[in-house]
Amino acid sequence: MLQRVKSASVTVDGELISTIGKGILVLAAVSKDDTEKDVESMAGKVLKLKMWDDENGGRVSKLSEMLEPADISAHNFTGSGNGMF
């Protein structure tokens, strides 16, 4: 699941673990049966998404411009299913 956010954070038992500013929140479920190729495929699709309007009324991907060394990792996120992206 992807969500454009003004900010996002992870809180565990009332303790703030990490936070980011404006960007993309990605909730990705990777199971023990997924291969490295599966994970690379999912990540590649996220990087190619066209989520912003350009000056000509089209859509562009600005994700690569937004990438910074800030990320949030929440282990044990429950969201795995039988579907493929």
* Whether the Cβ atoms of residue 61 and residue 49 lie closer than 8 Å to each other: yes
Q: What is the DSSP letter of 17?
A: E
Q: What is the pTM of this model?
A: 0.55
Q: Is 22 exposed, middle or buried (0-12, 13-18, 19+ CB in 10 A)?
A: exposed
- pLDDT value at position 22? 80
- pLDDT value at position 85? 45
Q: Does domain 2-66 have CATH number 3.50.80.10?
A: yes
- pLDDT value at position 19? 86
Cα separation of 24 and 46, whole Å? 10
| Angle 24-65-70 from CA coordinates, rounded to 5° | 55
Going from N- to C-terminal start, the domains of the chain cover 2-66
**In a structure prediction context, what are the per-residue pLDDT tens digits for the chain, which is 85 residues long?**
888 888 988 888 999 988 888 877 888 888 889 999 998 898 888 877 777 777 788 777 666 655 554 555 555 555 555 554 4
Cα separation of 38 and 57, whole Å? 33
Tokens of 37: 């190729």
